[in-house]
């Protein structure tokens, strides 16, 4: 069991360990890849190293099929170093909030100034077919928790950087924007909860990202959030949700995600 009694010290320790193993003094950008995204990173930029997450302090192997479990060090054509985590810890795994945001805190402690958070999610907008990537404009955190403990009041205006959203739209001008609603999971929503999310102003429903974005803003990172809609949210399609459908939509979207990731790795 990992010791998160001082989660910031745990992140500094893991970052030192990681940079030693990678043989670089710091990283420039961090990326966290969610459902459907980890296969899209293959062949994007030069790969310098791959470390199984389970070998790094505070991380565990991924619990879900469709999620990867490595830390990749990539180098862009301009020579910048990107650390890609191909899996994440979800709140529903029961390891606590500190474990959920540990990867983001390690990325910050390793020197990054920018972070890309990706996920697979359910869509509330019928115009967004499965396989559509959507930029996060904002979020609603329905987990009833925070990664921050104590009187540390972090501003979340523009939690997802408008400048980074513009940069992403230069690669793909048709990218829509939406508000992401994080539920705790691991069950999907009921149709009534999906209607509630829409009434609250949500466009996307998922089980990750908001707690990581909060921890990232606390650490001073600029954040870009991108969701891949893999299914219509419950009650919006005639058939029940299935994890197989999620994996299929992810596979079909790989070419578009790959070119988006390639652009981001060069421009960030
Ligand atoms: I992929 O429809 C994926 N993850 N909460 N709802 C929630 N999480 C998801 C969904 C969904 N699809």
Residue 138, in any domain of the structure = yes
Residues with CB under 6 A from ligand 1: 35, 120-122, 183, 185, 188-189, 205-207, 230-231, 233, 241, 246
Burial 27-55 (b: 16+ CB within 10 A, else e): bbbbbbbbbbbbbbbeebbeeebebebee
From the CA of 64, how far away is ligand 1's center (Å)? 13
Residue 158, in any domain of the structure = yes
Q: Which atom in ligand 1 lies closest to the alpha carbon of residue 234?
A: 2
Contact 131, 198 (CB under 8 A): no
How far apart CA 231 and CA 248 sit, in angstroms, is: 10
How far apart CA 130 and CA 231 sit, in angstroms, is: 5
Number of domains in the chain: 1
pLDDT under 50 in the chain at which residues? none
Contact 18, 110 (CB under 8 A): yes
Q: Which atom in ligand 1 lies closest to the alpha carbon of residue 36?
A: 1
Q: Which pairs with CB-CB distance under 8 Å and at least 24 residues apart come from 240-249? A: 241/122, 241/188, 243/65, 243/66, 245/130, 246/35, 246/36, 246/66, 246/120, 247/35, 247/36, 247/65, 247/66, 248/130, 249/36, 249/120, 249/130, 249/131
How far apart CA 165 and CA 17 sit, in angstroms, is: 32
Q: Which atom in ligand 1 lies closest to the alpha carbon of residue 249?
A: 1
The DSSP H or E segment spanning 197 is helix 191-199
For atom 5 of ligand 1, the residue with the nearest CA is 206
From the CA of 18, how far away is ligand 1's center (Å)? 31
How far apart CA 182 and CA 231 sit, in angstroms, is: 15
Residue 1, in any domain of the structure = no
Identify the CATH number of the domain in which residue 220 sits: 3.40.50.1580
Question: What are the tens digits of pLDDT across the range 80-107?
Answer: 999 999 999 999 999 999 999 999 999 9
For atom 3 of ligand 1, the residue with the nearest CA is 121
Mind telling me the catalytic residues? 189
What pLDDT score was predicted for residue 65?
Answer: 62
The answer, as to whether pTM is greater than 0.85, is yes
From the CA of 120, how far away is ligand 1's center (Å)? 7
From the CA of 52, how far away is ligand 1's center (Å)? 26
Full domain range(s) for residue 57: 7-267
Name residues whose C-beta falls within 8 Å of residue 199's C-beta, 6 or more positions apart in sequence.
none
How far apart CA 122 and CA 105 sit, in angstroms, is: 27
For atom 7 of ligand 1, the residue with the nearest CA is 206
Residue 124, in any domain of the structure = yes
Structure tokens at 248: 């299929």
Residue 144, in any domain of the structure = yes
Contact 176, 132 (CB under 8 A): yes
Residue 2, in any domain of the structure = no
Question: What are the tens digits of pLDDT across the range 201-251?
Answer: 999 999 999 999 999 999 999 999 999 999 999 988 888 777 787 777 778
How far apart CA 20 and CA 265 sit, in angstroms, is: 23
Helix or strand or coil: residue 122?
strand
Q: Which atom in ligand 1 lies closest to the alpha carbon of residue 250?
A: 1
């Amino acid at each position: 069991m990992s010791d998160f009694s001082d989660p910031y010290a745990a992140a500094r320790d893991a970052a030192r360990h990681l940079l030693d193993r990678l043989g670089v003094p710091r990283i420039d950008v961090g990326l966290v890849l969610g459902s459907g995204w980890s296969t899209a990173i293959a062949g994007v930029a030069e790969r310098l190293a791959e470390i199984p997450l389970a070998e790094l302090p505070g991380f565990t192997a991924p619990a879900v099929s469709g999620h990867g479990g490595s830390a990749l060090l990539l180098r862009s054509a301009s020579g910048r170093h990107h650390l890609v985590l191909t899996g994440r810890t979800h709140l529903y795994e029961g390891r606590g909030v500190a474990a959920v945001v540990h990867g983001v805190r390690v990325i910050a402690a390793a020197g990054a100034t920018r972070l890309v958070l990706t996920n697979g999610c359910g869509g509330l907008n019928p115009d967004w077919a499965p396989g559509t990537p959507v930029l996060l404009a904002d979020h609603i955190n329905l987990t009833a928790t925070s990664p921050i403990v104590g009187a540390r009041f972090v501003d979340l205006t523009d939690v997802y950087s408008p400048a980074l959203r513009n940069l992403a739209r230069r690669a793909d001008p048709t990218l829509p924007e939406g508000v992401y609603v994080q539920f705790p999971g691991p069950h999907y929503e009921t149709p009534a909860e999906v209607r509630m999310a829409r009434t609250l102003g949500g466009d996307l429903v998922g089980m990750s990202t908001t707690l990581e974005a909060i921890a990232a803003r606390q650490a001073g990172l600029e954040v870009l959030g991108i969701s891949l809609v893999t299914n219509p949210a419950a009650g919006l399609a005639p058939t029940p949700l299935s994890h197989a459908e999620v994996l299929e939509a992810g596979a079909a979207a790989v070419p578009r995600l790959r070119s988006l990731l390639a652009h981001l790795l060069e421009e960030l």
